[in-house]
Copies of this chain bind each other. A is one copy, B any other.
Amino acid sequence: MIEHIIKTIEKYKLIERNQHIIVGFSGGADSLFLVEVLLEYRKRVPFFIHCCHVNHLLRGIEALHDEEFCRQFCLQYNLPFYAFRIDIQSYSRKDKLSLEEAGRKIRYDRFHRIANKWANSKIAVAHHADDQVETILQNLIRGAAITGLAGMEFEKAGIVRPLLEIYKEDIIKYLQECDISYCIDSTNEENDYNRNRIRNLLIPSLEEYNPNFKASILRMSSSLHRDDDFLEQESAFYFDKVVKKDEDSFCYLDLDLWKELHPSLQYRIIIKLIEELKGNRKNIGQEHLDRITGLCSKEKGKKEYLAGYTWLKDQNRLWVYKEKKQDPIEINLILGKDCYINGYIIRADKIKVSDQKKRNAVYFSTDLLKCPLYLRNRKNGDRFFPFNAPGEKKLKDFFIDEKIPQFKRDRIPLLISEEKIIWIPGIRRSNWHLVQIEDEEVVEITWRKI
């Protein structure tokens, strides 16, 4: 059995030479067995084993005994031992998590803290084949997609699971045969109600249909992992082509490219995007995805709200942005001083007419331009007289003509003089106060993004 696991470790390159492996070490049968396997493998390939024990302070004296057991074990094998005592109960109450969720979060947090001490490190946990089958069934019951049905992976995000193909039964048998003692967590069995029912009722009843049910599920898992990995690879490739940022760093989906893709990739790209925006894909279900993919073929201007973002269908873009009610802003622009507004730096200077040569600048006649100058957001009823246009028009119509998406319009500062919009930074100057042939000095107004 040890040989089989070592082959798995080698096949999937789970542990490499000189790596620091942080083992989640409860002292129970699974994690103790995992440490035994690693000690065995370390006889062949040099690497470092660190044991990390988290006492959840839920089981009083029994838990202290387990902690001591782990400490003694590590002393015996001369392994670095890290023990944490954390009040999971109050943590779970504070963060409104179940005890299991809170425990998992704290444990992995501590594992990562230790792993982060070395550049070349990984976390190893003792999930075995029975855990895998339970996880897959749990995911099936809630109607997961392929990734959930495939279950846990041998390696993902710096966490390795070398025992995924080994049954609990065989672990116990091995420890008994070798006369190795381990801790028994008296509450463990009761912790997760659903999970225990899956283990003790559902799986045995499924084994009545197929005595090799567990092996069948593991086979299914490996086949789904293969497919999922390919789909992931393909969608990552297209994600970088389809999801873009415009010059104002607004994120959008290029719908011309997106629509060319197979629906399977289309969905995955949306999921990936949500994951990037939100940091995870929690609470994102099929219905949400259907809404967003549906939006992509709706007419221009339609919106959806998902994951804290507004999704806006434009001509051939799907914009994704946070709806912010822009407070009215008014800032004076003082000659010779930088002015910060809505992510722009704007500055006005008097310069000689011969020095007009900057990009990102507009020039006004010193004689015609009246101070004070100020910057503000748009207001209802604003009008604008674009450079070289035959006359004034509604600012709204100008924005429409210029194809400025609605959600950007509130954030664009307008330069005002004598109640007239004389310049829209980065977009257009007005026809007002053009530099005159007789001007010797001009007002130069420059802008750049922060």
A binding-site residues for B, Cβ under 8 Å: 140-146, 149, 194, 197-198, 201-202, 205-206, 209-210, 212-213, 215-220, 222-224, 226-227, 229-231, 233-234, 262-265, 267, 285-286
Is there contact, CB below 8 Å, between A223 and B140?
no
Q: From A150, which residue of chain B is reached at the shortest CB distance?
A: B146
Q: Can you list 16 residue pairs at the A/B interface with Cβ under 8 Å?
A: A140-B140, A141-B206, A141-B216, A143-B217, A143-B220, A144-B220, A145-B227, A146-B223, A149-B224, A194-B209, A205-B205, A219-B286, A223-B267, A226-B267, A229-B262, A229-B263
Q: Interface majority SS on A: helix, strand, loop or mixed?
A: helix
- Collect the chain B residues with CB atoms within 8 Å of residue A224's CB: 145-146, 149
- Collect the chain B residues with CB atoms within 8 Å of residue A209's CB: 141, 194, 197-198, 202
Is there contact, CB below 8 Å, between A262 and B233?
yes
Apart from A149-B149, A227-B227, A234-B234: 19 A-B pairs, beta carbons within 8 A = A141-B210, A143-B215, A143-B216, A143-B217, A144-B220, A145-B220, A145-B224, A145-B227, A146-B146, A197-B209, A198-B209, A202-B206, A219-B286, A226-B264, A227-B264, A229-B262, A229-B263, A230-B231, A230-B264
- Collect the chain B residues with CB atoms within 8 Å of residue A285's CB: 219
Distance (whole angstroms) from the CB of A11 to the closest CB of chain B: 12
**How far is B116's CA from A283's CA once the two chains are assembled, in angstroms?**
49
Distance (whole angstroms) from the CB of A183 to the closest CB of chain B: 30
Q: From A261, which residue of chain B is reached at the shortest CB distance?
A: B230
Is there contact, CB below 8 Å, between A220 and B141?
no
**How far is B267's CA from A218's CA once the two chains are assembled, in angstroms?**
17
Is there contact, CB below 8 Å, between B143 and A230?
no
**How far is B124's CA from A408's CA once the two chains are assembled, in angstroms?**
52
**How far is B230's CA from A71's CA once the two chains are assembled, in angstroms?**
52
- Collect the chain B residues with CB atoms within 8 Å of residue A141's CB: 206, 209-210, 213, 216
- Collect the chain B residues with CB atoms within 8 Å of residue A140's CB: 140, 217, 220
- Collect the chain B residues with CB atoms within 8 Å of residue A229's CB: 262-264
**How far is B222's CA from A216's CA once the two chains are assembled, in angstroms?**
22
Which of A198, A231, A263, A264 counts the most chain B CB atoms within 10 A? A264
**How far is B207's CA from A197's CA once the two chains are assembled, in angstroms?**
13
**How far is B197's CA from A115's CA once the two chains are assembled, in angstroms?**
49
**How far is B265's CA from A206's CA once the two chains are assembled, in angstroms?**
31
Partner of A202, one of B205, B217, B222, B265: B205
Partner of A227, one of B146, B198, B216, B223: B146
Is there contact, CB below 8 Å, between B146 and A216?
no
- Collect the chain B residues with CB atoms within 8 Å of residue A212's CB: 143
- Collect the chain B residues with CB atoms within 8 Å of residue A213's CB: 141, 143
